[in-house]
């Protein structure tokens, strides 16, 4: 079920929030701050009026990457006082400020981590596909995504390694009672029993973190997920309907909800894990995974050294914690999905015990190498395997294309087409 919302700034003066609510709008984001010094003139009035009208409210900060990060953190936290029921804070990222992707991401991470620590809510990232794809990063794919994509398609384009969207700004020319002129319109999709998608997997993960869910993280909204969600809703004083509405989702995003969970039965302490050879643990490996070509090569090599039966048993242990049912389990995929959960670490520790010390030692050497040194030139087949549309990869391919004759390229194109018929 789609829940309708809008977002406003100083460009929409004198919003009548009571009229907005009567028009069926149930949530709204409002611009609060920009950079290290700007506070939206309309913020304080909108913030109070949204609450009075019963509209679930959220605040966004327009990120200026080149401005003082601490100044931007302090300004947002001084201006926006989140209360129970409010939506998580939003970082609006749609300009580089002349910085590189790495610099922008490093500075954005500081804001995200500081604001999450202060508000006890994991922030939302707002962006649009063209901008984020040009950045060429998947670094923040574990944050909720608010995507701006104006399209007639049934779903927006989801960039940057995100598996799904949380909020979709689908138009900048909407018409809503109480707002003069055009306004940005958004939707949030609530989920209920019978759904099967990555949104459900996100709900399951949050319920497990809070102690309400012990089932498989499979993205299937079945009876077990419904029962867990109802228990969580009761703990919050919500209507226990078992539907992941926006109100329930926002409560799940809070780090310290009022939860009363029976303590688990005591379990005997596990035997100490032997110190791995050469100081490398698989949990450390996957916590530092950045999807670089050298890391992927090392993981592909390690997978080739592990017996199929061991990988199969590992897959069963791992899939009980995180992967959707349609995912093919490769060690590269493990790196993409790793979040440091206790169940994930247990599965990786089990796998490490099945691998000989000699293989672990050789893998550590491959993993720690900063580049891949071979005795022969790289094959184009290998280049295709590691292609991630990164700027340096595109530049290298453009350079190569400029050094191949048109006749050879034409013949290659013909062979490529024939191979795909």
189 is catalytic: no
Residues paired with 34 in a beta bridge: 38, 62
Question: Are 165 and 189 spatial neighbours (Cβ–Cβ below 8 Å)?
Answer: no
CA dihedral 86, 87, 88, 91 (to 10 degrees): -120
Task: Tell me the CA distances in angstroms from 228 to 205, 257, 301, one per residue in order.
Answer: 11, 15, 40
Q: Please, what is the end-to-end C-alpha distance for the chain in angstroms? A: 41
Measured distance CA(193)–CA(229) in Å, rounded: 10
DSSP state of 404: S
- In a 13 Å sphere around the CA of 324, the CA atoms on its Cβ side amount to 17
φ, ψ dihedrals at 267, nearest 5°: -120, 145
Contacts of 47 (CB under 8 A, 6+ apart): 30, 32, 57, 59, 80
Question: Are 146 and 113 spatial neighbours (Cβ–Cβ below 8 Å)?
Answer: no
Question: Are 84 and 238 spatial neighbours (Cβ–Cβ below 8 Å)?
Answer: no
Measured distance CA(37)–CA(266) in Å, rounded: 52
Q: Is 154 exposed, middle or buried (0-12, 13-18, 19+ CB in 10 A)?
A: exposed
Nearest to 363 by CA among 311, 272, 286, 273: 286
Name the catalytic one among 94, 113, 155, 411.
94
CB contact burial 111-141 (16+ within 10 A = b; e otherwise):
bbebbbeebebbbbbbbbbeebeebbbbbbe
Active-site positions? 94
């Amino acid at each position: 079920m789609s829940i309708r919302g809008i977002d406003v700034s100083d460009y929409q003066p004198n919003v009548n929030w009571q009229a907005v609510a009567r028009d069926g709008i149930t949530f709204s984001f409002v611009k609060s701050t920009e950079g290290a010094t700007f506070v939206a003139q309309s913020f304080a009035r909108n913030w109070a009026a949204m609450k009075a009208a019963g509209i679930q409210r959220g605040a966004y900060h327009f990120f200026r990457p080149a401005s003082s990060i601490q100044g931007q953190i302090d300004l947002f936290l001084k201006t926006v006082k989140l209360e129970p029921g409010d939506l998580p804070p939003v970082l609006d990222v749609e300009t580089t400020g002349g910085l590189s992707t790495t610099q922008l991401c490093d500075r954005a991470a500081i804001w995200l981590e500081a604001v999450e620590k202060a508000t006890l809510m994991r922030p939302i990232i707002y962006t649009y596909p063209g901008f984020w794809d040009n950045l060429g990063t998947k670094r923040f794919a574990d944050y909720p995504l608010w995507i701006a994509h104006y399209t007639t398609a049934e779903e927006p384009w989801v960039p940057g390694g995100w598996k799904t969207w949380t909020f979709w700004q689908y138009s900048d020319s909407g018409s809503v009672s109480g707002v003069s002129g055009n306004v940005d319109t958004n939707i949030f999709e609530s989920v209920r029993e019978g759904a099967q998608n990555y949104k459900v997997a996100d709900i399951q993960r949050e319920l497990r973190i809070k102690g309400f869910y012990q089932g498989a993280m499979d993205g299937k909204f079945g009876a077990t997920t419904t029962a867990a969600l109802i228990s969580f809703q009761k703990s919050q004083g919500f209507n226990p309907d078992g539907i992941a509405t926006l109100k329930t989702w926002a409560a799940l995003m809070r780090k310290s909800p009022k939860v009363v969970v029976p303590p688990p039965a005591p379990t005997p302490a596990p035997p100490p894990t032997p110190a791995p050879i050469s100081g490398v643990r698989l949990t450390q490996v996957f916590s530092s995974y950045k999807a670089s070509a050298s890391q992927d090569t090392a993981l592909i090599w390690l997978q080739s050294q592990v017996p199929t039966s061991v990988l199969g048993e590992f897959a069963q242990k791992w899939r009980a914690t995180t992967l959707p049912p349609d995912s093919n389990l490769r060690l590269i995929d493990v790196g993409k999905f790793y979040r440091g959960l206790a169940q994930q670490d247990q599965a990786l520790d089990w796998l490490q015990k099945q691998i000989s010390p000699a293989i672990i030692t050789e893998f550590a050497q491959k993993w720690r190498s900063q580049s891949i040194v071979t005795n022969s030139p790289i094959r184009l087949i290998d280049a295709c395997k590691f292609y991630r549309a990164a700027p340096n990869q595109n530049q290298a391919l453009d350079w190569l294309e400029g050094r191949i004759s048109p006749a050879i390229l034409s013949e290659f194109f013909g062979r490529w087409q024939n191979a795909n018929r």
